Chain A
Amino acid sequence: MLAVRELTVRYDAGRRARVRTAVDSVTFELAAGESLGLVGESGSGKSSLVRALLRLVPASGVALFEGRDLLRLRGTDLRATREHLQIIFQDPLAALDPRMRIAEIVAEPLREFRPQLPASERRALARSMLERVGLDATHLDRYPHEFSGGQAQRIGIARALVLRPRLLLCDEPVASLDVSITAQIVNLLHDLKREFGLSLLFIAHDLATVRQVCERVMVLYRGRLMEIAPREQLYSAARHPYTRALLAAVPTPDPAHAGPAALAVGEPGTAPTEPGGCAFRHRCPLSAARCSTEIPQLRAAGSGLVACHFADS
């Protein structure tokens, strides 16, 4: 359904600033009905990748969505494709126009893409979608500020799904929600995915949530794809030292557990950025001379792919 080849996003901050490569030649595929997780620390390029697919930032490479290159579509073709790609955001309240009523917010995509529908029909569709995500008719004429974060995220999901898209991009949809609400939204996405046959590209920094939602997971570091693998493999036998570090750092709600393990050095975005070699080598416990001269290429590892010279050790 979605085939991305060597997607690259570069930000040029002006004549004298250096160009920053946010996403560096990332290649992956997403099947119909599949959910693919996208994890990595801040600055790893997760959001840039999603924004590039939506054409919100310029990018090079190829991103075939049902056979058409998202990065090269123009005019009416681009508009027609957008109907099938929708997004939900991290901050659900900021994603809703504070001056619009909920029914208008959810019906707005219909107004854009189904202008022939009478307004009453659009409202009815919005209403049934709102009911599907767990809100009711009494909410239709209220304003966003009257809702909690969890409810606002439900409204965002209703707006994204009202056109019945085939691909839903989720940019940290539960990161700003309360603990008891996160499980509700994760379950809702799980149910809607099955009901509507959705594909999900699901960004999160929380690996436990990604495990719950996604059948396959890709790991980005500084814009490069480090590892992509089916859930079972990634969580039980991660090959890349970076993936293993991310997993070890997840706190476990069990005092008998040893506690989260920290990488000895470094933070995302603080290591030097000279070109060549593996992007992770400055923080990597397995780093060797080869890692600073030779960029590790993606190669098969089990049923996934990994970019590390020493993934087998």
Chain B
Amino acid sequence: MACVTHLIPMSTDSGTATLLRVNNLCVDYHGVHGTLRAVRDLSFELRAQQCLGVVGESACGKTQLLYALMGLNSNAAQLRGSVQYRGEELLGAAPRRLAALRGRRLAMVFQDSMGALNPYLRIGVQLCEGARAQLGLTRSAAQSRAATLLETVQIDAPALRLRQYPHELSGGMRQRVMIAMALMCDPEILLLDEPTTALDVTVQAQVLALLREVRARTGIAMIFVTHDLGVLAAIADRVAVMYAGRVVELAPVARLYATPRHPYTAGLLRSMPRLDAPLTARLPAIPGQPPRAGAPESGCAFAPRCALVHERCHTLPGLRAVGSAESASTSWVACHVEAPPPSIREAWR
């Protein structure tokens, strides 16, 4: 496999730099039926070289969050709060400034690689487009860089692939092309929206191994969005659990899986069929169903499905720190229950 020397090298002093600081981010859609609140009051930090996992079910706002970071929400969206990239405010920034950052500093990998690639254009043209515009590379320089990156993502015969069209590649290969495309301009932050969901489990394992390797070699920071807690366990440093547009728990990966604090997190972990747990006749399922996107809320959105529901749950629980308040290893949970009983907390053991 080719060495990735041309990508940003890992440097020790940048290890603690805060790349993204998101404060009270809200994404609203105003429509004839009232306001749909897709993302509600979201705050988090992403430091250099970190991988933040974001997990949640459909319509929890996880994709809208990524779009807000990239400035890709539709015109109907109203964004409030603050998204700072290295101290620079991105919400309300000039379109030209955002265009200069996209691809160059923040790059995104989409779930549906067939939908994200243009079927009429050769892979090479699509890979090079961003680098030529952002880095001012010549056609041939961009092509050779593209070929090197295809090798990096373990695609054989890069010269041939550059001349092919998206439909000539398998799903796993297209997703590798998407990752290579996102890396073309040496971004600092890679945003991944369900990058392995459409893939077979064997190919998912290959793509995860590739992303881990890219991370280890370049130290690129990631925000990895998925519905699958199994996938995040293999790649994330910290995990944010989203429910109905809010983060309900944010914790270092080991702590989240070992001692989930929010009843939703604990319920998800318990209800997942998993190969490393003893077989039981029935799964301990969470009852009910997630609320629709942007549904109006009164109190905790998870309360109707929660085993620990209490009168207090009619008021909205704020995110509170659990344990020490020092930054990197702090856990945050939005639940009125101080400490869930062991039966809820115990994921499955």
A238-276 contacts to B (CB < 8 Å): 245-257, 259-263, 267-270
Interfacial chain B residues near A184, Cβ < 8 Å: 285-287
Q: How far is the CB of A209 from chain B (nearest CB, A)?
A: 5
Size bracket, chain A contacts: 35 or more
Size bracket, chain B contacts: 35 or more
Q: How far is the CB of A127 from chain B (nearest CB, A)?
A: 21
Check B269 against A253 for contact (C-beta < 8 Å): yes
Interfacial chain B residues near A178, Cβ < 8 Å: 57-58, 227, 289-290
Kindly state whether residue B22 has any CB partner on chain A within 8 Å: no
Check A255 against B204 for contact (C-beta < 8 Å): no
Interfacial chain B residues near A181, Cβ < 8 Å: 289
Kindly state whether residue A212 has any CB partner on chain B within 8 Å: yes
Interfacial chain B residues near A261, Cβ < 8 Å: 205
Interface string of B278-298 (1 = CB under 8 A from A): 010111111101101000000
B83-135 contacts to A (CB < 8 Å): none
From B204, B275, B284, A252 is in contact (CB under 8 Å) with: B275
Check A253 against B273 for contact (C-beta < 8 Å): no
Check A254 against B273 for contact (C-beta < 8 Å): no
Interface string of B255-286 (1 = CB under 8 A from A): 00100000000011101111110010111111
Interfacial chain A residues near B284, Cβ < 8 Å: 183
Q: Which of B10-18, B34-42, B70-78, B229-237 lines the interface with chain A?
A: B229-237
Interface residues of B (CB under 8 A from A): 57-58, 170-173, 200-206, 208-209, 212, 227-231, 233-235, 253-254, 257, 267-269, 271-276, 279, 281-287, 289-290, 292, 305
With A183-B284, A269-B170 as contacts: A206 and B273 at CB distance below 8 Å:
yes
Check A205 against B200 for contact (C-beta < 8 Å): yes
Counting chain A CB atoms within 10 Å of each CB, the highest count among B201, B203, B289 belongs to B201
With A179-B228, A250-B275 as contacts: A267 and B289 at CB distance below 8 Å:
no
Check A186 against B273 for contact (C-beta < 8 Å): yes
From A208, A257, A267, A270, B273 is in contact (CB under 8 Å) with: A208
Check A186 against B230 for contact (C-beta < 8 Å): no
Interfacial chain B residues near A257, Cβ < 8 Å: 233-234, 276
C-alpha spacing A259/B281, complex, angstroms: 26
Check A151 against B289 for contact (C-beta < 8 Å): yes
Q: How far is the CB of A14 from chain B (nearest CB, A)?
A: 18
Check A41 against B208 for contact (C-beta < 8 Å): no
A146-194 contacts to B (CB < 8 Å): 148-151, 178-184, 186-187, 190-191
C-alpha spacing A183/B276, complex, angstroms: 16
Q: How far is the CB of B210 from chain A (nearest CB, A)?
A: 9
A36-62 contacts to B (CB < 8 Å): 41-42
Q: Name which residue of chain A comes closest to B270, CB basis.
A: A183
C-alpha spacing A178/B209, complex, angstroms: 25
